[in-house]
Amino acid sequence: MATTHELSETHYFETNPPPSTLPEHTALANSFIKLHHSASRPVVLLTSGGTTVPLENQTVRFIDNFSAGTRGATSAEYFLSQGYAVVFLHRQFSLLPFSRHYSHSTNCFLDFLSEWGRIGEDDEGGKDGEQAATPDVVVKARYRQQMLSVLRKYRKAKEQNLLLLLPFTTVTSYLFTLKMLACQMQCLGNEALFYLAAAVSDFFVPPSRMAEHKIQSGDIPSTDGDGSTGGGKKLVVDLDPVPKFLKRLVEQWAPRAMIVSFKLETDPSMLLSKCRQSLDRYSHHLVIGNLLSTRKREVVFVDRKGLEWIRTPELRDGEEEVEIESLIVPAVIRKHQELLQRQRSGDTNR
Ligand code: PMT
């Protein structure tokens, strides 16, 4: 008999419309997964960025969250460097692997460029102070090495078709696409890895209560007498819980894959218990816990064996910051390889 949990998930998919992009994304995923399956290459489905919760069907306003997709975009690069093909299910317009180095507002790509030969602007622009006959755009000398390295990795990923970019915006489009991808990836068996770094909304407005058009402030009823500003008018948003999909993913959509989820908290005293609770509840392989304030410096791996903190090293003068994903991803891959080994030797435990 179906559990309450399963019923609410089924109801969710029956009552929310699939995204219009689903057929196109299914076709793209299908050929990408087949390609890498035939090459015996491991594939990671990496989710990244925050899901939105629209307040109107023709959406003007929506609820969002803080995630810019840094964890996801950075991790994708490290998975690619370790020989994985990456399905990158990301929030539209959030950070992408490789271009992330130049697309943030504090790292505008234009600051990396200069006009070749323009005197006084950038003495590094041309070749040995040479004047260009016609102005050209070049990368400033001090950035060339780093940009060349990013460019080469980017081109390799593109030329070898190692990176599939699939965007989502709403929590519903995320969930439909996640389900589709998980089912498509079943053919990969335990070579498939799920790395769920997206910040997924826990609440949403169900279609039955969603306004079709932009909510008009004039239509909001007055709730006089509570002393608030705005003439007693308040927009009260009534949200339903989004069913937890991790259980369905682990048990039905991707029963043989390795599944890694992230757990975000803001209160340090809750982090470990919440990670353990998630592991107990969903019985997947690994929870990576992080705090909003320290997520770029430390994370904790929680699995059935116990816990392990991963921290970036303290920097000495002149040392470059270490991206924590350069430590997280190899550690996850080690666990994936160990799992593959165990399963090859007939051990069916997670
Ligand atoms: O983008 P950055 O700025 O780099 O930030 C990275 C990050 C902090 C967003 C990332 O490291 C992270 O922690 N992501 C997970 C945040 C989150 O959504 O946690 P949660 O407690 O809401 O969900 C925990 C797990 O439950 C997730 O794996 C999620 O996929 C799953 N879930 C969530 C909601 C839902 N309805 N069903 C689910 O199954």
Pocket flag, ligand 1, residue 74 (CB < 6 Å): no
Pocket flag, ligand 1, residue 94 (CB < 6 Å): no
Candidate from 8, 12, 203, 246 with most ligand 1 atoms within 8 A of CB, to mutate = 246
**More confident call, 316 vs 27:** 27
Q: State the average pLDDT for the chain.
A: 91
Query: What's the whole-number mean pLDDT along residues 183-199?
Result: 97
Candidate from 195, 262, 310, 312 with most ligand 1 atoms within 8 A of CB, to mutate = 262
Q: What is the DSSP pairing of strand 192-196 with strand 43-48?
A: parallel
Strand partners, 258: 193
Q: What is the pLDDT of residue 3?
A: 67
pTM above 0.90, yes or no: yes
**For ligand 1, what atom is nearest to the CA of residue 288?**
13
**More confident call, 119 vs 71:** 71
In the reported structure, the alpha carbon of residue 32 is separated from the centroid of ligand 1 by a whole-number distance in angstroms of: 25
Q: What is the pLDDT of residue 219?
A: 78
What are 5-63's pLDDT values in tens digits?
A: 666 889 999 999 999 999 999 999 999 999 999 999 999 999 999 999 999 999 999 99
pLDDT at 97 > cutoff 80: yes
Pocket flag, ligand 1, residue 259 (CB < 6 Å): no
Query: What's the whole-number mean pLDDT along residues 179-191?
Result: 97
Contact 199, 51 (CB under 8 A): yes
Q: Alpha-carbon distance 102 to 79, whole Å?
A: 20
Q: What is the DSSP pairing of strand 203-204 with strand 192-196?
A: unpaired
**More confident call, 349 vs 68:** 68
**For ligand 1, what atom is nearest to the CA of residue 242?**
36
Q: Alpha-carbon distance 41 to 85, whole Å?
A: 7
Protein residue with its CA nearest to atom 5 in ligand 1: 67
Strand spans (E) along the chain: 43-48, 53-54, 62-63, 85-91, 113-115, 137-139, 163-168, 192-196, 203-204, 240-241, 258-265, 286-291, 298-303, 306-311
Handedness of CA 321, 322, 325, 328 (dihedral sign): negative
Q: What is the pLDDT of residue 218?
A: 80
What are 241-286's pLDDT values in tens digits?
A: 999 999 999 999 999 999 999 999 999 999 999 999 999 999 999 9
Q: What is the pLDDT of residue 135?
A: 78
Pocket flag, ligand 1, residue 196 (CB < 6 Å): yes
First to last CA, the chain: 25
Pocket flag, ligand 1, residue 295 (CB < 6 Å): yes
pLDDT at 226 > cutoff 90: no
In the reported structure, the alpha carbon of residue 263 is separated from the centroid of ligand 1 by a whole-number distance in angstroms of: 6
Q: What is the pLDDT of residue 230?
A: 60
User: Which ranges constitute the DSSP H helices of 160-245?
Assistant: 171-184
Q: Alpha-carbon distance 34 to 37, whole Å?
A: 5
What are 99-146's pLDDT values in tens digits?
A: 999 986 678 889 999 988 665 555 454 555 555 567 799 999 999 999
Q: How confident is the model at residue 238 (pLDDT cuts 50, 70, 90)?
A: very high
